[in-house]
Amino acid sequence: MSRPAGFEFSNPDRRQLLGTAMGIAAASLLSVHPALAAATDAVRPFRIRFPEAELMDLRTRLAATIWPDKETVADDSQGVPLAVMQELARYWQKDYDWRKIETRLNALPQFITEIDGLDIHFIHVSSKHENALPLIVTHGWPGSIIEQLKIIDPLTNPTAHGGSASDAFHVVIPSMPGYGFSAKPTTTGWDPERIARAWVVLMKRLGYAQFVAQGGDWGGVVANVMAQQAPPELLGIHVNFPETIPPEIGMALQAGGPPPAGLAPDEKRAFEQLVAQRTKHLAYTLEMGTRPQTLYAMADSPVGLAAWLLDHGDNYAQPAAAITSAVLGRTVNGHSAGAVTRDDVLDNVTLYWLTNTAVSSARLYWENKRRLLSAVNVSIPAAVTVFPGEIYQAPRSWTERAYHNLIYFNEAGQGGHFAAWEQPELFSAELRAAFKSLRS
């Protein structure tokens, strides 16, 4: 019954050993190590090529979709509207071309290396500028390394993007365990703490004795955890997903009361955003946090998966608004798609589909033991950019309490939850400014 997603592994060393015709299923591929297995810290080149049969199967399933009725409202308040899903499915089936993103990814230096027993996939682009600052950037859910493709050139090659050579980064963009082309954990324990430790191993393995880390969404959590662990190699972090809710505010949110008296206007706004998020926008995280395995439909139905990844439980407000704007080709509720295109969104959804990672990615919520967005206790240098479309606009006052050595704080003019994807130039400029003081 099972038809695991497959892709070919193109590694020159392995080719000689195993022959060129190897087309190996993802599961077996990622659990089997090349003949150089003796050295488990080997860094192996990686290329993607899904068999045509996988793409055919996807299109067949899309064409055979059984649809529910139309929603009973005139807006998106019950979820992704039927007409939106049907138009997206039509394009996905008939016009969308996976091979384009496959080619783009394969044009980048991609690698796999085993860390803590798990194969980790990553993109690694070194800057030509030798004093470049090594940086590891982590995606979130429902994202992937595809979120970060547009910042690679601005960060590694700043002189072509209005920056100077001294702004350059060496960029490492890993896929989180259970996401994309990283292996799917078969046992428990891959929580943000363990991922954070793995990232330090990865950076050291690549020869970076000093580096910085960046992230949004789950990637922001990973960066925050790295900062709390504070390994000596970590110079500092930048997050666009600051976790700042003070304990007393967290209790008030839990109790479901009105905003506590005495909040400044920006704190009151954040409180109200968090109330809306908790009461109306969080069910998908609760489901994945408690019953990820039950989401069989997301492995079996491409439309089911797409709706699940698109919705993000928040109507046409942020964070899904930019994604929805991209899919619809028009600005929804004043939230521009920015640089995100419909193909970008489908590239990401198709990546989840072909790698069959809907359930394995959901498990990160199950693994997590942290109270997300609650104030972290970070003492190493930290930089924060607050994007206006983020889940909540972290007030500077809360941010300063959570990050004791706040080296940079800025409220960006535009962009949302998928900041690197939506506003790659702006995002890159933020990273340059954020880390400037750590270079000097």
Partner 1 sequence: MGASSVLNVAAPHPMAASEAIRPFRIHVAEKALVDMRRRINETRWPDREAVADESQGVQLAAIQQIARYWGTEYDWRKIEARLNALPQFITEIDGLDIHFIHIRSKHSNALPLIVTHGWPGSVIEQLKIIDPLTNPTAHGGTAADAFHLVIPSIPGYGFSARPTTGGWETGRTARAWVVLMKRLGYTRFAAQGGDLGGGVVTAMGKQAPPELLGIHTNFPATVPLDIAKALQAGHPPPADLAADEKRAYEQLTILFAKKRAYAALMATRPQTLYGLADSPVGLASWLLDHGDGYGQPAAAIMSAVLGRTINGHPADGLTRDDVLDDITLYWLTNTAVSSARFYWENKLNLYNFADVSVPAAVSVFPGENYPAPRSWTERAYHKLIYFNEVMKGGHYAAWEQPQLFSAELRAAFRSLRQAT
The residue count for the chain: 440
38 in contact with partner 1 (CB under 8 A) = no
Q: Kindly tell me which residue out of 113, 182, 240, 360 binds partner 1, with binding defined by CB under 8 A.
A: 360
β-strand partners of 214: 137, 238
Nearer to partner 1, 104 or 371 (CB): 371
Residue 72: CB minimum distance to partner 1, A: 5
6 in contact with partner 1 (CB under 8 A) = no
Residue 86: CB minimum distance to partner 1, A: 10
295 in contact with partner 1 (CB under 8 A) = yes
What residues numbered 221-280 form the site for partner 1, per CB under 8 A?
251, 254-256, 280
Catalytic residue, candidates 96, 352, 365, 403: 365
Tokens of 429: 């400029």
Handedness of CA 60, 63, 67, 70 (dihedral sign): positive
389 in contact with partner 1 (CB under 8 A) = no
289 in contact with partner 1 (CB under 8 A) = yes
363 in contact with partner 1 (CB under 8 A) = yes
Region at 346 (left for phi over 0; alpha for psi -120 to 50; beta for the rest): alpha
417 in catalytic set: yes
Nearer to partner 1, 323 or 434 (CB): 323
Q: Kindly tell me which residue out of 124, 238, 281, 396 binds partner 1, with binding defined by CB under 8 A.
A: 281
Residue (of 350, 355, 358) closest to 92 by Cα position? 350
Catalytic residue, candidates 76, 191, 217, 344: 217
Q: What is the DSSP letter of 418?
A: T
- Cα 184 from Cα 164, distance rounded (Å): 39
CB 173 within 8 A of CB 167: no
What residues numbered 109-168 form the site for partner 1, per CB under 8 A?
none
Q: What is the DSSP letter of 226?
A: H
Count the residues of the shown chain that bind partner 1, applying the rule CB under 8 A.
Answer: 62
298 in contact with partner 1 (CB under 8 A) = yes
Q: How many CB atoms lie within 10 A of CB 206?
A: 18
For residue 68, is the peptide bond before it cis, meaning its omega torsion is within 30 degrees of 0?
no
- Cα 252 from Cα 52, distance rounded (Å): 53
Residue 122: CB minimum distance to partner 1, A: 21
Residue 81: CB minimum distance to partner 1, A: 7
Q: What is the DSSP letter of 71?
A: P
Residue 357: CB minimum distance to partner 1, A: 8
Q: Kindly tell me which residue out of 259, 313, 341, 343 binds partner 1, with binding defined by CB under 8 A.
A: 313
Query: Reduced to 3 states, what is the DSSP secondary structure of residue 207?
Result: coil
Name the residue with tokens 């941010």.
Answer: 399
Residue 306: CB minimum distance to partner 1, A: 8
333 in contact with partner 1 (CB under 8 A) = no
Cα dihedral 313, 315, 316, 322 in deg (nearest 10): 0
What residues numbered 63-102 form the site for partner 1, per CB under 8 A?
65-73, 78-82, 85
Residue 280: CB minimum distance to partner 1, A: 6
Residues 162-201, mask of contacts with partner 1 (x by CB under 8 A): ----------------------xxxxx-------------
- Binding residues vs partner 1 (CB under 8 A): 1-3, 27, 65-73, 78-82, 85, 184-188, 251, 254-256, 280-284, 286-287, 289-301, 303-308, 311, 313, 356, 358-360, 363, 366
Active site members: 217, 365, 417
